[in-house]
Amino acid sequence: MARITAGLATSHIPLIGVAIDQNRGEEDYFKPILAAYDWTRRWIIQPENKPDVVILIYNDHASAFDMNFIPTFAIGCADSFEPADEGWGRRPVPTVKNHAELAWHIAQSLILDDFDMTIINKMDVDHGLTVPLSAVFGQPKEWPVKVIPLAVNVVTYPVPSGNRCWLLGEAIARAVASFPENLNVQIWGTGGMSHQLQGARAGLINKEWDQRFLDDMTRDPQRLRAIPHIEYLRETGSEGIEMVMWLIMRGALSTQARELHRAYHVPASNTALGHLVLENVE
């Protein structure tokens, strides 16, 4: 039986990719950024922790999808996905290999559970998906895990509610639990934390709000699922809304999930870098 053993949350700031791709990790600016992942890098390669598959919740930043086609929840079921060209060439990272069998299984289960999924069989994946992989796995020749991309619209409003995201996470957990193959599965929620990339208010960082969100991922997750969009927008900047994707991850874990690791650092580019690793205590 496949089991979700852990949840991971992380910002997916493009600059982290730049630091890694250009081997600039030793620069003063980048040191604390990459240090946020030191614990996780060591932890995840332990045989008892290493996932076979990561269900990677992210958003497309106008790369695979344009204004002609805006799916609320899209699940990638192709065998593999290439890194997108976001305007400066493709990131020099490996092709992302899917566990297509599990991806299709999850897609089917979610639709039977009344989630109105869009199934995608061809797309490129952008920094939202590849930066978290780089932060955790560095620069391998091949990604050491299979990755199921699950893209959420957090760009065009209305985006899905935090509660809908949480419920999707619960349904993903049911889907994984019903997959017969023995697999260690992790679910990653990416994006956030505080950031605003536009207008006169750009650069907003709300450390206090972010910290409470990190706390409540284990202390009071039920509070988080009820946060309305307007609160993310007011408190964490217009792009802080990405944190609803963390709730998909959190909804897929048990009530008693336990914090194994936490990091928080300002700034990484325009953003507050937040990172959490949660053990799925069953």
Partner 1 sequence: MPDRLKDYLAAFDDIPGTRVYTTERARQGYWLNQFCMSLMKPENRERWRADERRYLEDWQLTDAQKEALLARDYNRLLDLGGNIYYLAKVFSTDGLSFVQAVSTMTGMSVEEYQKMMLAGGRSPDGQRSVKEGR
Residue 118 binds: one of Fe ion, a second copy, partner 1, none (C-beta under 5 to 8 A by kind):
a second copy
Contact (Cβ atoms closer than 8 angstroms) between residue 251 and residue 167: yes
In whole angstroms, what is the distance from residue 115 CA to residue 113 CA? Answer: 6
What DSSP character marks residue 83? B
Which member of 47, 87, 89, 158 binds a second copy (CB under 8 A)? 158
Looking at the Cβ atoms of 48 and 66, the one nearer to partner 1 is: 66
Distance from CA of residue 63 to its chain's centroid? 16
**CB contact burial 74-91 (16+ within 10 A = b; e otherwise):** bbbbbeebebbeeeeeeb
Q: Pattern of binders to partner 1 over 24-43, x per CB under 8 A? A: --------------------
Choose the stretch contacting partner 1; rule: CB under 8 A; options: 37-45, 182-190, 218-226, 262-270. 262-270
The yes or no reply on residue 252 touching a second copy (CB under 8 A) is no
In whole angstroms, what is the distance from residue 34 CA to residue 95 CA? Answer: 22
Tokens in use for 242?
A: 């990405």
The yes or no reply on residue 45 touching partner 1 (CB under 8 A) is no
Task: Tell me the number of residues near partner 1 by CB under 8 A.
Answer: 59
- Reduced to 3 states (helix: H, G, I; strand: E, B; else coil), residue 256 is coil
Looking at the Cβ atoms of 68 and 222, the one nearer to partner 1 is: 68
The yes or no reply on residue 274 touching partner 1 (CB under 8 A) is no
Catalytic member of 61, 99, 195, 275: 195
In whole angstroms, what is the distance from residue 246 CA to residue 250 CA? Answer: 6
If one counts every other C-beta atom within 10 angstroms of the C-beta of residue 62, the result is 13
Choose the stretch contacting a second copy; rule: CB under 8 A; options: 37-45, 162-170, 206-214, 258-266. 162-170
Choose the stretch contacting partner 1; rule: CB under 8 A; options: 11-19, 144-152, 181-189, 256-264. 11-19
Q: Shortest CA distance to 139 belongs to which of 28, 252, 24?
A: 24
The yes or no reply on residue 156 touching a second copy (CB under 8 A) is yes
Measured CA distances, 162 to 66, 109, 197, 229, 266 (Å)? 23, 21, 21, 8, 25
The yes or no reply on residue 68 touching a second copy (CB under 8 A) is yes
Which member of 4, 9, 12, 14 binds partner 1 (CB under 8 A)? 14
The yes or no reply on residue 226 touching partner 1 (CB under 8 A) is no
Residue 195 among the catalytic residues = yes
Residue ranges binding Fe ion (CB under 5 A) = 191
* Active site (catalytic) residues: 127, 195
